[in-house]
Amino acid sequence: MVDDPADRVADEVADAVLDGNAVAGALASVLGVEATSIPGRCAHCGTVSMVGALRAYMRAPGAVLRCPACGQVVLRLVETERSVYLDARGAAFLRFDR
Amino acid sequence: MQELRLYRSATRSTTISLQAALERGSVTERFVTRGFVGRRGTPGDPASDTARRVPPGQYLTSGFPVLSAGPTPRTALGQWSLSIEGLVREPSRWSWAQFMELPTRDWTVDISCVTKWTHLDMRWRGVSVDTLLEHVDLRPEAAYVVAWSDGGYTTNLPLADVVNGQAFVAFEYDGAPLTPEHGGPARLVVPARYFWKSAKWVRGLRILDHDEPGFWESFGYHNRGDQWREERYSGD
Amino acid sequence: MATTAITWQIATVASIQDETPTVRSFALHLPAWSGHQAGQHVDLRLTADDGYSVERSYSIASEPERGSEVEVTVERIPDGEVSPFLHDVVVPGDRIEVRGPIGGYFVWEAAFGGPLLLVAGGSGVVPLMAMVRHRARSGSSTPTRLLVSSRSFDEIIYREELGELAAAGDGLEVVHTLTRSQPDGWTGYARRIDEPMLAEVLAPLGASARTYLCGPTSLVENAANALVHLGVPTARIRTERFGPTGT
């Protein structure tokens, strides 16, 4: 198999998608509770997934978590020196059980 | 060995005692990890030309990190088009073949990403945004641009910041066609701003009379993003 | 949820152990540790003199039963920023900032039951090792199969311990595949994980097996797709993608 450098880059980029686990620490620091084992409903397609199962793009100015079914943005997270921003507009809900 | 380092208060240029700082609550204590330096290029002599070209808070790199907020779009050239629309008398649209017929030039520019890497002397080839705008008649109230891309990404700029040679649509990097991972077939490049403003996979510029914050600007990132003023986050 | 998970604390490196020529385990003593579940990870933060700092997440290799000493296993990536520092500079007694435990999605407790299918690519075996160690310590006999993909025999992480655990006769089987080179006389799998291999490994457990997949993204995605194809419900599959190899 010919090892084409372009393929390697493409693989590396494709491989760069992680799961919601990757933002577990940041989410816990923002919400105060473990937030990857909770279900969330995609505001675009309605699919309910655990936050840990969202597809996480970490190599960006911030973290972008996408629905595993439709690929739309469910959560966005930006960590600055002083704050953490969380955009949950792409989630119709996040369910935290008591 | 001292492990705690006192950092200067963000608002004062004089150092103060640890106790006073803690009482004031305005200083961050940092635990320093023994022996850790990190992988980053240093500009060397702070007075050198190279050092002067690195914006505040940035680190030199010779690589070209790939950052993305989503899967890499792969639009076939036969389906690709670039358009200018919005507050223009008539929108303009180029197919790839037509785009390739526009006047092009080379740019060698320094690029800074908000994730702190700076790469000097990056070589691009592309079409100036000025060239694209020559094909449209801007309405008098035109003042802002939203660049939009395959995959849904957007970023916003004042029109004044993309004219007079300040921005171009690049289709070649370092002498080779721009790869999809780096925004190919074509991306916007605005060297005077953090690289998130240089929209990868650009497909159009929408001209507006009002500012419309884009994907990152609407969410915690600075609206203008001037790396020389270290405008990373809103509130900077 | 204990608040210690969210704040940084300063851990002391208690001991260091080589697992393979490029993989090393660090036992960390934490002053305020609230315990963890197998599968969770910790964040490590390194700060240079001038304030430059980087963070990395590392899966906890040790079982919860081990107490306030937490082990992480780190593969040395040659042009990485953090792993070469951990391997080349850190010695017992050094102090490192740690935050955790983190994560609740990719965890397994003996009480969850099984049957249990664990699939690991390279250093993806680390959180699954915590599960396997916890399983042993809790006296569980849940039917469990751990499939580990490694490049070569010498690069199998925890090779001896896995052999011992599998020999205990409590329902754990460990299956190896070596993808780049195999020792003379090797009769095991000698290729990348694929659907036929997963079908064979899964067979004794059945399609209702709880499944945990961990490793490079491409391995995890291919395995997850294959398992769905083999009839494992998506809801029974949990993944932890480590990203590209070599970062």
Q: How many CB atoms lie within 10 A of CB A33?
A: 14
Q: Is any Cβ of chain B less than 8 angstroms from the Cβ of A74? A: no
Domain-located, residue A39: yes
Domain-located, residue A35: yes
Q: Calculate how close chain C gets to B6, using CA atoms only, in Å.
A: 10
Amino acid of residue B31? F
Alpha-carbon distance C62 to C73, whole Å?
9
- For residue B216, list chain A residues with Cβ-Cβ distance below 8 A: 61-62, 78
Q: C residues 90-109 near B, CB within 8 Å? A: 90, 94-97
Choose the mutation target among A76, A79, A83 for the interface with B, i.e. most B CBs under 10 Å.
Answer: A76
* Closest A-chain CA to B64: A9
Handedness of CA B27, B33, B34, B39 (dihedral sign): negative
Q: What are phi and psi of B28, to 5 degrees?
A: -100, 130
Question: How would residue B210 be classed by pLDDT, with cut points 50, 70 and 90?
Answer: very high
Cα–Cα distance list, A90 to A77, A87, B67, B86 (Å): 12, 8, 21, 27
Amino acid of residue A2? V
Model pTM?
A: 0.82
Provide ipTM, 2 decimals: 0.80
Q: Is any Cβ of chain A less than 8 angstroms from the Cβ of C107? A: yes
Domains, chain C, ranges and CATH? 3-102 (2.40.30.10), 110-241 (3.40.50.80)
Contact B33 C48 (CB under 8 A): yes
Contact C105 A33 (CB under 8 A): no
Domain-located, residue A66: yes
- For residue B31, list chain C residues with Cβ-Cβ distance below 8 A: 8, 10, 47, 95, 97
Residue C187, Cβ density class (10 Å: 0-12 exposed, 13-18 middle, ≥19 buried): exposed
Give Cβ neighbours of residue C136 (< 8 Å, ≥ 6 apart). C63, C165, C168, C170, C172
pLDDT digits (tens, 9 = 90+) for B74-103: 899 999 999 999 999 999 999 999 999 999
- Cβ–Cβ < 8 Å for A36, A26: no
Domain-located, residue A81: yes
Q: Is any Cβ of chain B less than 8 angstroms from the Cβ of C51? A: yes
Q: C residues 3-32 near B, CB within 8 Å? A: 8, 10
Q: Which residues of C129-168 are buried (b: 16+ CB within 10 A; e: fewer)?
A: bbbbbbbbeeebebbbbbbbbbeeeebbbbbeebeebbee
Contact A61 B115 (CB under 8 A): yes
Q: What are phi and psi of C76, to 5 degrees?
A: -80, 110
Question: How would residue C141 be classed by pLDDT, with cut points 50, 70 and 90?
Answer: very high
Residue C205 pLDDT? 96
Q: Is B88 helix (H, G, I), strand (E, B) or coil?
A: strand
As for how many domains chain A has, the answer is 1
- Nearest CB neighbour to A17, from listed C57, C217, C240: C217
Contact A19 C239 (CB under 8 A): yes
Q: Calculate how close chain C gets to B59, using CA atoms only, in Å.
A: 10
Helix axes C159-166, C125-137, angle to 10 degrees: 40
pLDDT digits (tens, 9 = 90+) for C231-244: 999 999 999 998 77
For chain B, the maximum distance between any two Cα atoms, rounded to a whole number of angstroms, is 69
Residue B174, Cβ density class (10 Å: 0-12 exposed, 13-18 middle, ≥19 buried): exposed
Cis bond upstream, residue C21 (ω within 30): no
Mean pLDDT of C172-195: 97
* Closest C-chain CA to A38: C105
Q: What is the DSSP letter of B235?
A: T
Alpha-carbon distance C9 to C3, whole Å?
11
Contact A9 B68 (CB under 8 A): no
Alpha-carbon distance B110 to B221, whole Å?
21
Place of tokens 């693989």: A11
Residues of B with CB under 8 A from a CB of C: 3, 5, 7, 30-40, 59
Give the 3-state secondary structure of chain A: CCCCHHHHHHHHHHHCEEEHHHHHHHHHHHHCCCCCCCEEEECCCCCEEEHHHCEEECCCCCEEEECCCCCCEEEEEEECCCCEEEECCCEEEECCCC
Question: How would residue C156 be classed by pLDDT, with cut points 50, 70 and 90?
Answer: very high
pLDDT digits (tens, 9 = 90+) for C70-117: 999 999 988 788 999 999 999 999 999 999 999 999 999 999 998 999
pLDDT digits (tens, 9 = 90+) for C22-72: 999 999 999 888 899 999 999 999 998 877 888 899 999 999 999 889 999
Alpha-carbon distance C138 to C66, whole Å?
12
Domain-located, residue A8: no
Domains, chain B, ranges and CATH? 60-66+73-229 (3.90.420.10)
Question: How would residue B135 be classed by pLDDT, with cut points 50, 70 and 90?
Answer: very high
Of B216, B178, B181, B210, give the one whose Cα is nearest residue B197: B216
Parent domain of A69: 18-94
Mean pLDDT of B158-175: 97
Q: Is any Cβ of chain A less than 8 angstroms from the Cβ of B115? A: yes
Question: How would residue B14 be classed by pLDDT, with cut points 50, 70 and 90?
Answer: very low
- Cβ–Cβ < 8 Å for C21, C77: no
Domain-located, residue A73: yes
Give Cβ neighbours of residue B196 (< 8 Å, ≥ 6 apart). A61, B113, B114, B155, B216, B221, B225
Place of tokens 């989503």: B70
Amino acid of residue B37? V
Domain-located, residue A58: yes
Q: Calculate how close chain A gets to B233, using CA atoms only, in Å.
A: 7
Domain-located, residue A55: yes
Q: Calculate how close chain B gets to C13, using CA atoms only, in Å.
A: 12
Q: Radius of gyration (Cα) for chain C, nearest Å?
A: 18
Q: Which residues of A50-69 are buried (b: 16+ CB within 10 A; e: fewer)?
A: bbbbbbbbbbbbbbbbbbbe
- For residue A35, list chain C residues with Cβ-Cβ distance below 8 A: 104
Contact B38 C48 (CB under 8 A): yes
Residue B140, Cβ density class (10 Å: 0-12 exposed, 13-18 middle, ≥19 buried): exposed
In terms of residues, how long is chain C? 247
Find the range with the poorest average confidence among A87-96, B32-41, B129-138: B32-41
Contact C51 B30 (CB under 8 A): yes
